[in-house]
Structure 1
Amino acid sequence: MQAKFKKSYRFAIKTSLYVTVYITLLMSVFLYYFYVPKWFLILGFSVSVFVFSFLIVQFSVERFIYKRVKKIYDDLTLLESASIRKGSITTDMRTLTQEIDKFARDKKIEIETLKVREEYRKEFLGNVSHELKTPLFTVQGYILTLLDGAMDDKNIREKYLQRASKGIERLGYIIKDLDMITKLEVGDLRLNIDVFDIVELVENVFDMLEMKAAKKRITLTFDTDYNSPILVRADKERIQQVLANLIVNSIKYGNEKGTTEVSVENLIKNKVIVRVTDNGEGIMKRHLPRLFERFYRVDKSGSRKEGGSGLGLSIVKHIIEAHDERIYVESEYNVGSEFSFTLEKAE
């Protein structure tokens, strides 16, 4: 598609004016000393010099500069979708320079963004393959062992089938969580907004995770006694999922005989903030900016002491943002962590 060419005569006019003034002054001095000055002759001479200079300068500029710039616009298909093509090509050098500079800055930002995304894509694919490979190879190993003759032994058969079942279960968790994140990102997951008591919901999550916490002798508690309900407006099932993920993480990475504490505080008039605090191993500061990325590992060793899909915190972030709320994290290594999120308070 050929770009529209918008002419500008500013440069030619200025240049011609300078040439005319200079030659006219020179001729005036010459006529003053050698002839009787006739101002109409000087004026006519000035006009003719200006017109001649303008035509020559404008023709030269268009022929040797602007036409080539126009060809660059037409030849570079990368400019097709750029904002610089939205308007016509101008022969005004200042405007043209500003447009080219803006285009260069935009392209630089775009290239840097693409580099970041490419790096993230590579890391994401590597993490996905690792998460899927571990349970898949485990299941495959048990099944191949059974096919090689181990299934004749009843005890081994039952044990290996149970382990294979756990591997399949973990694969199911990963696929289910990936599907949920995808729906959250594209806005395909509808929220059932309702009014409920957040304190009661936390108590339900405590009851649900009581046995898991007991294995590490971790105490699940509130920061204080909540004698009256605190009503919030949100999707109860999704917020329960958020709380469960955060509390499970605090148990996983908590210390033996540690504590996981939940508090609900008024933030502003129509907002409350829910905090989940533990005194576990904590997180180094360099990991905090990427903590909510899919499959992001704080432990880079490749081994995972605790199970899970590796998508819990990413799901938590997407659920909270789907409510148009914010989630925060503060942590100090070897001291503990605090995850907090806001919710709309019901009247």
Structure 2
Amino acid sequence: MLYLSTEDVTMKLKTRLIIAFLTVILIPVLLTYLMVCGLSRYQINSIEKTYEITGTTVKSFANSMQVLSRLTEKPYHELYEMAKEDSEQLEDATCLEKFNKKLEKKKAYLLVRKGTTIIYMGTDIDNVNHVIPQLPSYGESGNTSENGVYLGGEAQALVKQVDFLYGDGEQGSAFIVTDVSNMIPEVQEFIVDLVMGILMVLVLTALLLIFWIYRAVMQPLGKMQCAAQNIKEGNLDFELRPAADDELGRLCRDLEEMRKRLKDNAEEKVKYDKESKELISNISHDLKTPVTAIKGYAEGIMDGVADTPEKMDKYIRTIYNKANEMDLLINELTLYSKIDTNRIPYNFNTLSVNEYFNDCAEDLSLEMESKNVEFGYFNYVASGVQVIADAEQIKRVIHNIVNNSLKYMDKSKGKINLRVKDVGDFIQVEVEDNGKGIAAKDLPNIFDRFYRTDASRNSSKGGSGIGLSIVKKIIEEHGGKIWATSREETGTTMYFVLRKYQEVPIHE
């Protein structure tokens, strides 16, 4: 048998979705935080090494203006010392050009003003057109010179100012100008890396969650799809094993229950078809014998063989008896159909045990006498005991059991005993015969439909093969049970019990 297991599902789908929701939120946030810390530390070290600064923090790194201000801290102090010690150097083009080269590495440039005239520009005129008009006047920056002054508008520059006096006493100012419209490459690289990292985290998280959900959902769904395909193709010989008590596990159990029911129905249908065919075969075979006899005796009458009143009477009685056999077979067939569809017509009444079984015994006594079979009746039940039963169906039970005994009677002097006993809450009925008996291996199956202890069929041991199965069905419908004991070559005893009728007192 094929086994389809869903053991990989270990938690409820609802729980998985909640975990997935929290994962989508928490993991990207956590990984982004760790990434920001790592990239910030890396870029800070890179900036400090490249621009020869120290003490840069994540907080200052997040403030691009502060970072740009710190880039020019060392050049500012050098410029300040130069102006203080030898202001004449600020008129030396070679010296200014050399200093400006240092500033270019810091993403800045130098402007020098004497009086109101710009005497040196460390960049193209186009870059300073908007800066020069906004440059602070001599002494205007004050204590903010080291930190720089921000020039807004179209200038977008950070300006650090060093004021000094030339040798001729004229006022001069040197400006370190940093363009803040564009971030330094390391900051841009940090932002790009951060964005790419966040995207990678989101993609990776999504892929992991998809894989996790796929394993949790698609694998059991795939097994259920395989099971559904097998059912569609009529292959019911497999088992779907749900291992988890979750939504998909319950769905697996429902699908497995459906498969079992379909398989049971299919097996029942095969069994029913087989039994129906066997029944038709049995009935056809058993009807053939009385029909042949009826035809034979009828032809004898027509041909004048029955030429005496005695022969005529014998032929007519034989035809009558064979017709009765046919009627019995047809009645069994009709009853079988009603049993199969649970439509046996029951008419339950309260019956006196003694009166009812005394009548049955009287009828059986006459029937057994006509068949040269000894009959004994023993009633051990006190008067007044009652049962609730269908009189006609219980009589059918007794007659079916007796007829079955007669069918397999192999003694020259047959004997059948009917006993009725009181066994507490039940009435026990026993039908004993001295027939050929039943083998121990066959005894558990004698109440099954069409079961025969003798596989061979002949006219003396015919029948539809459903007599005892009808008996069992009727007794079970009465709330009782039936069983048998037997010894080969000695005889068989059939037992069945019916519950007593007991009045329930009403307490007012």
The answer on 1:52 being equivalent to 2:218 is no
Residue 178 of structure 1 aligns with which residue?
Answer: 333
Q: 2:385 aligns with which of 230, 240, 246?
A: 230
Residue 317 of structure 1 aligns with which residue?
Answer: 472
Q: Structure 1 residues 130, 346: CA separation in 2 closer, same or farther (over 3 Å shift)?
A: closer
CA distance in 2: counterparts of 1:278 and 1:141, whole angstroms: 29
Provide the aligned length of Structure 1 versus Structure 2.
Answer: 322
1:140 deviates by 5.0
Residue 136 of structure 1 aligns with which residue?
Answer: 288
Q: Is the 8 A contact 2:348 2:389 kept in 1?
A: yes
Q: TM-score by structure 2 length?
A: 0.49
Structure with higher Rg: it is 2
Q: 2:421 aligns with which of 264, 272, 293?
A: 264
Residue 218 of structure 1 aligns with which residue?
Answer: 374
Query: Which residue identity does 1:342 align to in structure 2?
Result: V
CA distance in 2: counterparts of 1:343 and 1:293, whole angstroms: 21
Query: Could you say what the CA RMSD is over the residues aligned between the two structures, in angstroms?
Result: 5.0
Q: Structure 1 residues 160, 294: CA separation in 2 closer, same or farther (over 3 Å shift)?
A: farther
The answer on 1:151 being equivalent to 2:285 is no
Q: Deviations over 1:227-267 (max 9, x none)?
A: 63432222223222222322343344354354524132233
1:345 deviates by 1.5
The answer on 1:125 being equivalent to 2:277 is yes
Q: Deviations over 1:64-118 (max 9, x none)?
A: 9749849949985957xxxxxxxxxxxx996435643663465256425633541
Q: Deviations over 1:136-174 (max 9, x none)?
A: 365257638977x98323328957666555444322212
Query: Which residue identity does 1:287 align to in structure 2?
Result: D
Q: Structure 1 residues 48, 206: CA separation in 2 closer, same or farther (over 3 Å shift)?
A: same
Query: Which residue identity does 2:279 align to in structure 1?
Result: N
Alignment partner of 2:495: what SS?
Answer: strand
Query: Which residue identity does 2:302 align to in structure 1?
Result: M
Q: Structure 1 residues 107, 225: CA separation in 2 closer, same or farther (over 3 Å shift)?
A: closer
Alignment partner of 1:286: what SS?
Answer: coil
Q: Deviations over 1:11-34 (max 9, x none)?
A: 8839968x959x959x68x949x7
Q: 2:255 aligns with which of 88, 103, 108?
A: 103
Unaligned 5+ segments in structure 1 are 1-6, 80-91
Alignment partner of 1:201: what SS?
Answer: helix
Residue 87 of structure 1 aligns with which residue?
Answer: none
1:300 deviates by 0.6
Q: Is the 8 A contact 2:417 2:433 kept in 1?
A: yes
Alignment partner of 1:176: what SS?
Answer: helix
Higher helix share: 1
Alignment partner of 1:199: what SS?
Answer: helix
1:339 deviates by 2.2
Q: 1:245 aligns with which of 371, 396, 400?
A: 400
Q: Structure 1 residues 108, 235: CA separation in 2 closer, same or farther (over 3 Å shift)?
A: closer
The answer on 1:205 being equivalent to 2:387 is no
Unaligned 5+ segments in structure 2 are 1-12, 45-56, 63-189, 233-243, 503-508
Query: Which residue identity does 2:267 align to in structure 1?
Result: K
CA distance in 1: counterparts of 2:480 and 2:319, whole angstroms: 40
Query: Which residue identity does 1:52 align to in structure 2?
Result: V
> Percent same amino acid at aligned positions?
22
Q: How does 1:67-106 map to 2 (within 5 A)?
A: 69=222, 72=225, 76=229, 78=231, 95-96=247-248, 99-100=251-252, 103-104=255-256
CA distance in 2: counterparts of 1:38 and 1:335, whole angstroms: 107
CA distance in 2: counterparts of 1:150 and 1:76, whole angstroms: 67
Q: How does 1:36-51 map to 2 (within 5 A)?
A: 51=202
Q: Deviations over 1:288-324 (max 9, x none)?
A: 3432334432211122524655443233223223323
120-129 or 170-179, which deviates more: 120-129
CA distance in 2: counterparts of 1:190 and 1:257, whole angstroms: 34
Query: Which residue identity does 1:55 align to in structure 2?
Result: A
Q: Structure 1 residues 282, 138: CA separation in 2 closer, same or farther (over 3 Å shift)?
A: closer
Q: Structure 1 residues 53, 226: CA separation in 2 closer, same or farther (over 3 Å shift)?
A: same
Alignment partner of 1:155: what SS?
Answer: coil
Q: 1:337 aligns with which of 492, 498, 504?
A: 492
Q: TM-score by structure 1 length?
A: 0.68
CA distance in 2: counterparts of 1:116 and 1:275, whole angstroms: 33
CA distance in 2: counterparts of 1:273 and 1:141, whole angstroms: 40
1:189 deviates by 4.0
Alignment partner of 1:203: what SS?
Answer: helix
Q: Is the 8 A contact 2:397 2:474 kept in 1?
A: yes
Q: Is the 8 A contact 1:205 1:244 kept in 2?
A: no
